Structure 1
Amino acid sequence: MTQAPTLRQFKLPDVGEGLTEGEILQWLVAVGDTVTVNQPLCEVETAKAAVELPSPFAGTVVELLFDAGTMVDVGAPIITIDTGDGGTPDAAAAPEATGSGLIGETNANGRTAVLVGYGPRSTEARRRPRRAPVEPAGTTPVPPPVTDDAPPLLATAPDMRSKPVRHGGLEVGRQAEAAALSEAAAPAREAAPGRRGPRPLAKPPVRKYAKDLGVDLAAITGSGTGGCITRADVDAAIAARSVPVAPAVPATDGAARQRIPIKGVRKHTAAAMVSSAFTAPHVTEFLTVDVTRMMKLRTRLAARPEFAGVKVSPLLFVAKALLLAAQRHPMVNSSWDEAAQEIVVHGQVNLGIAAATPRGLVVPNIKDAGRLPLAELAAALGELTETARAGRTQPGDMAGGTLTITNVGVFGVDTGTPILNPGEAAILAFGAVREMPWVHKGKVKPRQVTTLALSFDHRIIDGELGSRVLADVGALLQDPASALAY
């Protein structure tokens, strides 16, 4: 006698702080693969970073519920695994991270699963309930849709491929079930005016494709299995239109326009910058500094044994100067608590470094950077930037920042007016170091010069304090030996 499969579904966890959705970048497993506990299942991009999700179960992959490139709500099942023996997840690997994972079963403590290593949310994320189809008089009632409250039933996946489904000991073909639902729901589309019919059958990528092109799926008859609408059906609907959906503006050079979806890190950055710009009153001050001595010190330090294998960049000295200035002026390392109507002066400096990545701008931070000696600070800066450029910065590395530096000089830019990282009181822009004519000891000589720009929240930092902080940073860069006076 063949043992019935034990099907468990893994729901998309909240891999950050209150995130609501994520995009499946790629699957690292396929249907039929055998997986172990903590084996990476897929790579997901959220509004903060791209992370790999580990499996809470050991077993065989039965179904991938979403295609790569699909945006998925937190709490929605993304994969079904047959554990075979009916065992529970490895408690040591993911304590309280998930429930048993049985389809239709609720976590024992009422919490939504989160990524291993992050705290669970206290509320369950749920999808919007589907509208029930309208049944005209004289027709056969449509069977109720399968829900998570049903017995173990593998029929909740978005696609309706023809696979056997076990329900109450009976094998029902998905193709037959989809066809029955489509045929029974057809009269409902012609129901009384003012009432919507059932949701058309289509996979998530097809729905997104149709939405981007402005195509109403309810007006399309699907040619796929069980009446499922395919990408080809959407293309055919567009071709049948008398007026194009989005006529392209004629271009003399023949170049086509490109539309880039606003999502992931870029979407989060845009929202954060708009909120910051229109919440905190920004003031920006500028200072041009002779950093010739700093550049000479950089050359000497790079040759020392304790800096072997570590990049000694000008950014290292800017970071150290800002950390020393924050010790002297603690208010620059603070934030505005609107709800409590308080200014929070932080006890340690979590120094953020703005980094440009292929997915957009991220600001990971070095925790308690003020306690690090120069060599350790250099190593931390190198590791932070390499991880960010590789797209592997974790959400925890970007949380809790208190003070930020943006290095626009690496792009050959002299300076800018940086926007505050939300929740912080100041941000320092470091421009390019250039050889320029400079008056030094009464004579015009070629010197290494850079420009600094400090933006600050004028609710917390007034002009005097902002000027003193910027002047201190400039003095430390101009004469690194003056750091001994701190």
Structure 2
Amino acid sequence: MAAKDFALPDLGEGLTESELVSWHVAVGDTVELNQPLAEVETAKALVELPSPFAGVITKLYAEAGTTVQVGAPIVAFELEGSEGDSAGSSDAAKPEREPVLVGYGPPIEGDGRPARRARKGTSKAPTPAPAPAPDPHLKVEVVPPPASQTSLPIERVETPRSTPPVRKLARDLGIDLATVIGTGDKGLITREDVEAAVSGGSLRDAGKAGSSGSGTRRAETGERETRTPIQGVRKYTAAAMVQSAFTAPHASEFLTIDVTPTMELIATLKESSAFRGRRLNLLTVVSKALCIAVGRNPSVNTRWDEQAQEIVQFHYVNLGIATATPRGLMVPNIKDADALDLVGLADELSALVETAKAGTASPADLAGGTVSITNIGSFGIDAGTPILNTGEAMILALGAVKRMPWEYRGEIALRQVLTLSVSFDHRLVDGEQGSRFLADVGAILANPAVLLTMV
């Protein structure tokens, strides 16, 4: 057997550290090649780290919930092979692995580009079977990295298994997951388990819940404040917004329009065979209108490259959709959205939003956007001044659709009205160009038939 350390790889986002959210393995476990070892949270997404080796886990260098530097060892293996193998020959004994993650290198297509996410309805490669869940009561030896000689090995109790949304719910309610008994598959702690813990229904130690059974942190400890570390998506979002706000000179414009014709069109299309069983809404139509308006106003689909002192013009639209998730704001994007018809956009939007809200969006899903939409109307908001997604020249905010009195054919009538808001980087987009873009989107939504004059 040959010993081998595995260091935290570069996950392809230019980051120097990641939070180790949970372990899927324990010391003594035998793992297969590409078997998930741990779940780590980068600035944008939760990522499972697959094992680059087949062998036996001998050490865990980091505890769940800690931040690990890229390049630091996180787990040690005894690799499969003969006991007489030397350090030099152990590499030959290692099974050849298929790269599956940024940092080892994503699967590569024939043209040299990373493989793209399969669209809805296409076959997907089989997912490696998850490792058996460790016993939450099992004590595991965790040894510091070899570079640290000042501390001795410690023992800890394995962190209870749960999903990111459930962990957030537990934090919000002041529930310690170590006190909760999981009723899900293989002891997984579910949302229902956390909610039951609030009323004292499934705590490992009932005394921790307090006699009132309220389950809130203030009732248990009397604390008047809660402090949460700035990390993960929140840390990335904050840094990106500050960089965008103080780098790109923002300009914003607004346009209020009667979208009754578009709302009537959507109602008609929903009854058609092409959209039966598909989610079609105003965001879908706005996404198509944006792609068409970008083609007529290409300056909004650019990037300012400060280092090269160049303006990068994109000849494709990777459409970002700002999405509120349990982990915070995420902006996954639809690759080559301008090449999709309305049916294709409806499918991609549904898949994108579901993936983001489930916390399974990959770094590739979140990278490479060129323009974005934020649907503030879903919260009942009329208009706003959105901040640009870093590296993009334009973002469109979609307000709430409201019935209100409006001039229609020379009379006052109740119509469905909304306000569009656009922010753009004034280094790249002049006021005239930004105005023409917004007017094009508005013209399409006010009268979808105008598309016949644009394409």
TM-score in terms of structure 1 length: 0.68
Secondary structure at the residue paired with 1:295?
Answer: helix
Cα distance in structure 2, aligned partners of 1:441 and 1:276: 43
The answer for the alignment partner of 1:117 in structure 2 is 106
- 1:334-345 matches, within 5 Å, as 334-345=302-313
Give 1 or 2 for the bigger CA radius of gyration: 1
Q: Residues 159 and 203 of structure 1 are in contact (CA less than 8 Å); yes or no, is this contact kept in structure 2? A: no
The 1:61/1:92 distance shift into structure 2, 3 A limit, reads closer
- 1:198-277 matches, within 5 Å, as 256-277=224-245
The ranges of structure 1 where at least 4 consecutive aligned residues each deviate by more than 2 angstroms after the TM superposition are 86-92, 199-205
The answer for the alignment partner of 1:400 in structure 2 is 368
The answer for the alignment partner of 2:385 in structure 1 is 417
Matching residue within 332, 346, 354 for 2:322: 354
Cα distance in structure 2, aligned partners of 1:456 and 1:81: 51
Q: Residues 21 and 40 of structure 2 are in contact (CA less than 8 Å); yes or no, is this contact kept in structure 1? A: yes
Cα distance in structure 2, aligned partners of 1:469 and 1:339: 28
Cα distance in structure 2, aligned partners of 1:435 and 1:395: 40
Q: Which runs of 5+ in 1 are unaligned?
A: 98-112, 120-154, 161-177, 182-198, 206-249
Cα distance in structure 2, aligned partners of 1:359 and 1:88: 41
Q: Which runs of 5+ in 2 are unaligned?
A: 82-89, 109-140, 157-217
1:462 aligns with 2:430: yes
1:295 aligns with 2:263: yes
- The range that moved more, 80-89 or 373-382, is 80-89
Cα distance in structure 2, aligned partners of 1:418 and 1:308: 34
Cα distance in structure 1, aligned partners of 2:395 and 2:27: 48
Matching residue within 71, 74, 93 for 1:75: 71
- 1:323-334 matches, within 5 Å, as 323-334=291-302
Q: Structure 1 vs Structure 2: percent identity of aligned residues?
A: 55
Matching residue within 408, 411, 414 for 1:443: 411
The 1:204/1:325 distance shift into structure 2, 3 A limit, reads farther
The answer for the alignment partner of 1:91 in structure 2 is 96
The answer for the alignment partner of 1:60 in structure 2 is 56
Secondary structure at the residue paired with 1:422?
Answer: coil
1:38 aligns with 2:34: yes
Q: Residues 52 and 97 of structure 2 are in contact (CA less than 8 Å); yes or no, is this contact kept in structure 1? A: no
Matching residue within 292, 316, 337 for 1:369: 337
Q: Residues 353 and 365 of structure 1 are in contact (CA less than 8 Å); yes or no, is this contact kept in structure 2? A: yes
Cα shift at 1:261 = 0.7
Matching residue within 402, 410, 413 for 1:434: 402
The 1:11/1:118 distance shift into structure 2, 3 A limit, reads farther
Matching residue within 14, 33, 46 for 2:10: 14
Cα distance in structure 1, aligned partners of 2:252 and 2:153: 51
The answer for the alignment partner of 2:21 in structure 1 is 25
Cα shift at 1:356 = 1.1
The AA in structure 2 aligned to 1:7 is A
Cα shift at 1:16 = 2.0
The answer for the alignment partner of 1:472 in structure 2 is 440
Secondary structure at the residue paired with 1:352?
Answer: strand
Q: Residues 329 and 469 of structure 1 are in contact (CA less than 8 Å); yes or no, is this contact kept in structure 2? A: yes
The AA in structure 2 aligned to 1:117 is P
The 1:84/1:202 distance shift into structure 2, 3 A limit, reads closer
The 1:204/1:345 distance shift into structure 2, 3 A limit, reads farther
1:322 aligns with 2:290: yes
Q: Residues 144 and 151 of structure 2 are in contact (CA less than 8 Å); yes or no, is this contact kept in structure 1? A: no
Question: Cα deviations across residues 265-310 of structure 1 (Å, max 9, x unaligned)?
Answer: 1111111110110111100000111111111111111122222222
The AA in structure 1 aligned to 2:373 is I
Question: Cα deviations across residues 175-201 of structure 1 (Å, max 9, x unaligned)?
Answer: xxx9xx8xxxxxxxxxxxxxxxxx566
Secondary structure at the residue paired with 1:278?
Answer: helix
Cα distance in structure 2, aligned partners of 1:350 and 1:88: 43
The answer for the alignment partner of 1:171 in structure 2 is none
The answer for the alignment partner of 1:106 in structure 2 is none
Cα shift at 1:88 = 4.4
Secondary structure at the residue paired with 2:292?
Answer: helix
Q: Residues 9 and 103 of structure 2 are in contact (CA less than 8 Å); yes or no, is this contact kept in structure 1? A: yes
